[in-house]
C-alpha cells in the first residue's frame, strides 16, 4: 500500500465580541501549539497570529470567532481559522502590503501574519466579512502544504456541549484521496463516541472503497448509537471521477462556477439500520469542489454568493459556510475537497 497521510480532527472555538476574549484566543492557540510540540519560536508566532487576527475582529468587525485545531500531517501542527461578520475588506491586496496595519496591532497587520505562518490564505468580500487562515507545522515541506490545500474541514460541538458528535478524516496519498464524514446519532458524549469509532475504523482501512467501508462500519458500530456516514474516494490527481456512498442525513455537493450537483445518500443509520449501500460514480469537473456537511449546516447555501471563494483554500470555504449557515443548535461539520490545488495563492 502506498504511504498515506491522515488528517482531520475537531476544532475548538473562541467567540470574539469583547477585547477580553483576545487573551483567551491566544491561550487556546498557544496551548494546542505546545501539545503539538512545535518549537519555541513557532509557538511564539502562533500566539502572535492568534492575537493579531482576534484583535482585528474586535477592532474592525466587532464580532467573530477563532477556530483552532491540531494538525496531524507534517509531524504535527496547528491551524487557526479566524472568521468575522464585519463589512469585509475593499482591497485585500492593500491590507496584505508590507507594514500595512490600520490599527497599529502588535503583529504588524495581515502581511506579517502571512510571513509568520507556514501556510496562509485570506478571503474577504464587501458585505460578507473576512476569513483568515494560518497553519503551522513541525515539518512544513511542500508536500504537506499541497495536501492541506486539497482537503480541509471543521467539526464543532453544539452550544453547551464539550464533545462534537460530528467527526471527519481524510487520507491522502499518491494513489488517491479518501474522505470520511460521520455524524453520530443525536449529540453529546454518546454521539461523539459513535463518530470517533467511525474515524478509528477509517484510519485502519483508508484504502477501502466507499460501499465496502460503510458495510464494515455498519458491522463494527453496532456497539454504539450509530451514525450517518459519507465516504468519498478519488483515485489520483489525473482522475476526473468521484466515487461516493452515503447513508443518513448528510449533504454532499459537487459545485463549480457553472453548476451544483447533489450526491445521493440512502436512508438509514450505520450501525443500527442499513437499508441499502450504493456506491455511485460522478464526473468531477476540472474546477469543481466537493462539499460534504452534516445536518448542523443549513442546506440553502450557495457559493455564487461569494465571488472568488471557490478558488480559495478548502478550509476557508468550510469556515465561511459554517460562519454563515450553521443552524446553531446541533453539532456541525463541513469538509471541502478539491481535485487540484487552488488556482489563487498568496
**Structural domain contains residue 134:** yes
Which strands, in side-by-side order, build the sheet including 77-84? 12-16, 64-71, 77-84, 130-137, 119-124
Distance CA 49, CA 133 (A): 10
| Same structural domain, 191 and 272 | yes
* pLDDT of the residue at 200: 97
Instruction: Please identify, among 145, 175, 191, the residue that sits at the C-terminal boundary of a domain.
Output: 145
Q: What is the reported pTM?
A: 0.94
* pLDDT of the residue at 286: 82
pLDDT digits (tens, 9 = 90+) for 53-65: 999 999 999 999 9
**Residue 195 and residue 167 in contact, taking contact as beta carbons nearer than 8 Å:** yes
Instruction: Please identify, among 104, 126, 145, the residue that sits at the C-terminal boundary of a domain.
Output: 145
CATH number assigned to the domain comprising residue 307: 3.60.40.10
In 3-state terms, what secondary structure has residue 43? helix
pLDDT digits (tens, 9 = 90+) for 28-44: 999 999 999 999 999 99
| Same structural domain, 134 and 204 | no
**Residue 270 and residue 215 in contact, taking contact as beta carbons nearer than 8 Å:** no
Distance CA 74, CA 69 (A): 14
Alpha-helical runs (H) found in the chain: 20-35, 40-56, 92-96, 110-116, 142-148, 189-204, 210-220, 314-325
**Mean pLDDT (whole number) for 102-115:** 71
Q: CA 156, 301, 335, 186: dihedral to nearest 10 degrees?
A: 40
State the pLDDT confidence band at 1, using cuts at 50, 70 and 90: very low
| Same structural domain, 118 and 182 | no
Q: Name the average pLDDT for the chain.
A: 92
Range of the domain at 241: 151-338
pLDDT digits (tens, 9 = 90+) for 159-203: 999 999 999 999 998 888 999 999 999 999 999 999 999 999 999
| Same structural domain, 239 and 124 | no
| Same structural domain, 269 and 160 | yes
* pLDDT of the residue at 149: 93
| Same structural domain, 155 and 177 | yes
Q: Beta strand pairing status for 268-269 and 260-262?
A: unpaired
**Mean pLDDT (whole number) for 337-344:** 74
| Same structural domain, 251 and 317 | yes
Rounded to 5 degrees, φ, ψ at 169 are -155, 150
Amino acid at each position: 500500500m502506498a504511504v498515506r497521510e491522515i488528517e482531520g480532527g475537531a476544532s475548538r472555538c473562541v467567540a470574539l465580541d469583547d477585547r477580553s476574549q483576545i487573551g483567551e484566543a491566544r491561550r487556546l492557540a498557544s496551548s494546542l501549539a505546545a501539545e503539538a510540540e512545535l518549537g519555541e519560536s513557532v509557538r511564539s508566532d502562533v500566539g502572535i497570529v492568534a492575537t493579531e487576527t482576534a484583535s482585528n475582529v474586535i477592532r474592525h468587525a466587532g464580532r467573530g470567532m477563532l477556530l483552532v485545531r491540531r494538525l496531524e500531517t507534517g509531524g504535527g501542527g496547528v491551524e487557526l481559522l479566524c472568521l468575522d461578520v464585519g463589512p469585509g475588506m475593499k482591497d485585500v491586496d492593500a491590507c496584505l502590503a508590507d507594514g500595512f496595519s490600520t490599527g497599529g496591532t502588535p503583529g504588524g497587520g495581515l502581511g506579517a501574519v502571512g510571513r509568520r505562518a507556514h501556510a496562509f490564505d485570506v478571503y474577504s468580500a464587501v458585505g460578507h466579512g473576512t476569513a483568515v487562515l494560518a497553519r503551522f507545522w513541525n515539518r512544513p515541506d511542500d508536500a504537506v502544504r499541497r495536501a492541506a490545500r486539497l482537503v480541509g474541514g471543521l467539526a464543532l460541538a453544539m452550544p453547551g456541549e464539550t464533545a462534537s458528535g460530528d467527526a471527519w478524516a481524510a487520507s491522502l496519498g499518491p494513489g488517491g484521496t479518501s474522505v470520511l464524514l460521520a455524524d453520530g446519532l443525536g449529540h453529546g458524549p454518546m454521539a461523539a463516541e459513535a463518530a470517533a469509532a467511525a474515524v478509528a475504523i477509517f484510519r485502519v482501512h483508508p484504502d477501502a472503497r466507499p460501499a465496502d467501508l460503510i458495510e464494515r462500519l455498519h458491522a463494527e458500530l453496532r456497539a454504539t448509537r450509530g451514525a450517518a456516514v459519507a465516504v468519498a474516494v478519488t483515485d489520483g490527481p489525473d482522475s476526473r471521477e468521484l466515487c461516493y456512498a452515503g447513508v443518513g442525513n448528510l449533504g454532499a455537493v459537487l459545485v463549480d462556477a457553472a453548476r451544483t450537483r447533489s450526491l445521493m445518500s440512502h436512508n438509514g443509520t450505520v450501525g443500527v439500520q442499513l437499508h441499502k449501500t450504493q456506491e455511485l460514480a460522478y464526473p468531477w469537473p476540472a474546477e469543481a469542489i466537493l462539499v460534504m456537511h452534516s445536518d448542523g449546516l443549513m442546506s440553502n447555501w450557495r457559493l455564487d454568493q461569494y465571488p472568488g471563494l471557490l478558488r480559495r483554500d478548502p478550509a476557508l470555504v468550510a469556515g465561511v459556510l459554517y460562519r454563515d449557515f450553521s443552524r446553531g443548535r446541533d453539532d456541525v461539520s463541513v469538509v471541502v475537497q478539491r481535485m487540484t490545488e487552488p488556482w489563487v495563492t498568496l
